[in-house]
Structure 1
Amino acid sequence: MRLEKRSLPSQAWRLAAPLLALAITLAVSSLLVAWAGAPVGQAYALLLEGGFGSRFAWSETLTRATPLILTGLAAAVAFKARLYNIGAEGQLYMGALAAVLVGGLHGGSGLEWPSWLLFPLMMAAAALAGALLLLGPALLKSRLGVDEVVTTLLLNFIVLLFVSWMLDGAMKDPLAMGWPQSVGLQESLSLSKLVERSRVHTGLLWAIAAALLLWALFKYSRTGFEIRAVGANAQAAAFAGMPVAWVSIKVALLSGALAGLAGAIEVAGRTGYVTLDMSPGYGYSGIVIAMLAGLNPLGALLSAVFVAGLLVGADSMSRAVGVPTYIADVIVATALIAMLVSSLLVNYRLRLRSRDGR
């Protein structure tokens, strides 16, 4: 068998691809749920109810979706230019650390700055920290041809070790009873609640605004056109006179800034301080969200809510029928693989080789 590129992918195949991916995901996940000894229908019902079936469920889903939207956008903008940023997890932690450095330690420096000035400085510091962390791998790729997948992935572990060192040293909270966490943000720098009696905060609005701005950048700006051109064919873009290396640098700065901003918003909106378990893999989940969205910034909003709902709903499903919560991770991973295969079949068809090898 061989893959043969379709001359013109049909609209029917484009519409059928997501449905095919959903069917494959449900079939594979059903086998795993049944293998765990739980009724499939009841498990799915509990999963959906836990993630979307009540006001509390929606509040928890949207709270978890907020950082996922930003890390999904970080992956989407990088992958659009074929800069494979696998380091959003580390960039998120660096953004969170920078946010606390500006908005937490500043309170004990003897200087009292107004919150209206300190808050944008805190967000800018977080975005800058994430951007600079990705700038190194981008320069190594453009100058020396070093694979950015390896460098960004390894930087995640380096950053986590650095964060652990800071939480046990210079940024350790003396009131934490020995628990490894940073000093807290000043209360005036916390994001306000978007919904009363819930954990949903105004960081969700920041994430939605970032998605809208990124969509407009891709669609209407020259930079967006250059990003799409470099991602489609870097050699052709260079032949047309586009500064491919400079486009990659701009993409790296934007992608890292979005991931760093996710860390700042998570600290200012939910935790109030940095801990090593602050992120349950938001940076890695952002890759899944970007791919499920087809690298579309607006699609990242929906896919982030979908993934967040599965992760939240898996907790209630696990308590009710005894299915491991990791089934949500399996469902998300299966959905990603199924979507990639379905997208492949949109642009290619399978052909059987004849006996003469043609």
Structure 2
Amino acid sequence: MRLEKRNSSSALALLLAPIGAAVFTLLVCALLVLWAGAPVGQTYALLFKGGFGSVFALSETLTRAIPLILTGLSATVAFKARLFNIGAEGQLYAGALAAVLVGGLHGGTGLEWSPWVLFPLMLLAAALAGALLLLGPTLMKTRLGVDEVVTTLLFNFIMLLGVSLVLDGPMKDPGAMGWPQSVGLQEGLELSKLIAQTRVHSGLLIAMGLALAVWCIFKYSVLGFNIRAVGANARAAAFAGVRVTRTMVWVALLSGALAGLAGAIEVAGRTGYVTLDMSPGYGYTGIVIAMLAGLHPIGVLAASVFVAGVLVGADSMSRAINVPTYIADVIVAASLLSVLVASMLTQYRVRWK
């Protein structure tokens, strides 16, 4: 068996590829549902109902999707230039801490800050914190040839240990009865609700706007062209006059800033303060979302809602039927593998000998 490059991919093949991937995923996961001793049809119905079957379910899905959109965009920007940023989780926490540092720890200075001034400063600090956390590994890659997968991954653990340190130290909330959490944001810095009596907030609009902005950067800007060129072939791009190191620095700043904003928006829109369990792996899930979206910023929106719906629906499903919530992780992972294989088959054909 060998793979042969197709001269072109038909529109029908491009349309059927994701459909086939979805069907294959459902069939594979159906075997696991049967193994758990549950009816397949009822399990999938409860999964869909729990994620999208009511206004409350949809609002919970959209709330979960907001940080996923931003971490998905972070991975999309980095991976487009072949900068394999595995550190969005740490960058998210860096942004969350910076947001609380600006929006919660300034009260003892004696200065009265208007929320209209403090809120953009809070977002700017979060974006800067995430960007700087990725800038170091990027410079080590471009200057010293150090593998960014290792450095960004290790920075996640360093950042989480740092969060644990400050939550039990200078940023600990004295009114939390010993619970390790930071002080809260001041009043007026919380994001408004989009739907009354739900948790979905206006951070969804910010995330959608950033997805559109990243798409415009990729499609219409010189930086976007340079990112695509470096991602396709860095040596050829340098030969053509693209400044590879400068481009990679911009990629690091943009990717890290998006992950840092995810932390700030999660604090301002949902939690109000920082805890160690604030993120159930949003940074890592963002990598899956970027790949599901084919590194397309608009596709990240759809992929984030899909993954969030599966995760939220699995929680509801497990309470109604004897199927563990881990089936959601299997569905997301199987979806990723199926999409990657389907995408490969649209570009290559299998030849048997």
TM-score normalised over the length of structure 2 = 0.98
State yes or no: 1:172 paired with 2:151. no
Matches within 5 A, 1:310-329: 310-329=310-329
State yes or no: 1:230 paired with 2:230. yes
Who is 1:264 aligned against? 264
Select between 6-15 and 30-39 the one with higher mean Cα deviation.
6-15
**CA deviation map 1:261-312 (0-9, x unaligned):** 0000000000000000000111111011111111111110111011111111
Residue 344 of structure 1, CA deviation: 1.1
Q: Distance in 2 between matches of 1:61 and 1:93?
A: 22
Report the 3-state secondary structure (helix = DSSP H, G, I; strand = E; otherwise coil) of the residue aligned with 2:3.
strand
Who is 1:181 aligned against? 181
Who is 1:356 aligned against? none
Q: Distance in 1 between matches of 2:40 and 2:8?
A: 39
The code of the aligned residue for 1:310 comes to: V
Q: Distance in 2 between matches of 1:141 and 1:350?
A: 36
Matches within 5 A, 1:1-358: 1-353=1-353
Q: Distance in 1 between matches of 2:16 and 2:35?
A: 29
Residue 45 of structure 1, CA deviation: 0.1
Residue 159 of structure 1, CA deviation: 0.4
Q: Distance in 1 between matches of 2:107 and 2:2?
A: 64
**Moved segments of 4+, more than 4 Å:** none
Q: Distance in 1 between matches of 2:136 and 2:20?
A: 40
Q: Distance in 1 between matches of 2:108 and 2:2?
A: 66
**CA deviation map 1:109-132 (0-9, x unaligned):** 322211111111100000000000
Report the 3-state secondary structure (helix = DSSP H, G, I; strand = E; otherwise coil) of the residue aligned with 1:187.
coil
The code of the aligned residue for 2:244 comes to: V
Report the 3-state secondary structure (helix = DSSP H, G, I; strand = E; otherwise coil) of the residue aligned with 2:280.
coil
Residue 239 of structure 1, CA deviation: 1.0
Q: Distance in 1 between matches of 2:233 and 2:7?
A: 18
Select between 202-211 and 186-195 the one with higher mean Cα deviation.
186-195
**How much is the aligned-residue C-alpha RMSD, in angstroms?**
0.9
Report the 3-state secondary structure (helix = DSSP H, G, I; strand = E; otherwise coil) of the residue aligned with 1:105.
coil
Select between 12-21 and 213-222 the one with higher mean Cα deviation.
12-21
Q: Distance in 1 between matches of 2:266 and 2:154?
A: 23
**CA deviation map 1:34-92 (0-9, x unaligned):** 11111000000000000000000011011111111000000001111111111100000
The code of the aligned residue for 2:324 comes to: P
The code of the aligned residue for 1:262 comes to: A
Residue 2 of structure 1, CA deviation: 2.0
Residue 12 of structure 1, CA deviation: 2.5
Residue 20 of structure 1, CA deviation: 1.6
TM-score normalised over the length of structure 1 = 0.97
Q: Distance in 1 between matches of 2:67 and 2:119?
A: 18
Q: Distance in 2 between matches of 1:260 and 1:143?
A: 24
Report the 3-state secondary structure (helix = DSSP H, G, I; strand = E; otherwise coil) of the residue aligned with 1:83.
coil
Residue 194 of structure 1, CA deviation: 1.2
The code of the aligned residue for 1:352 comes to: W
Q: Distance in 1 between matches of 2:103 and 2:14?
A: 47
Q: Distance in 2 between matches of 1:343 and 1:327?
A: 24
The code of the aligned residue for 1:345 comes to: L
Q: Distance in 1 between matches of 2:204 and 2:107?
A: 26
Q: Percent identity?
A: 74
The code of the aligned residue for 1:167 comes to: L
Q: Distance in 2 between matches of 1:279 and 1:29?
A: 26
Select between 24-33 and 103-112 the one with higher mean Cα deviation.
103-112
Q: Distance in 1 between matches of 2:199 and 2:14?
A: 38
Residue 11 of structure 1, CA deviation: 2.5
Q: Distance in 1 between matches of 2:35 and 2:154?
A: 35
**Number of positions where the alignment pairs a residue of Structure 1 with one of Structure 2:** 353
Residue 108 of structure 1, CA deviation: 2.5
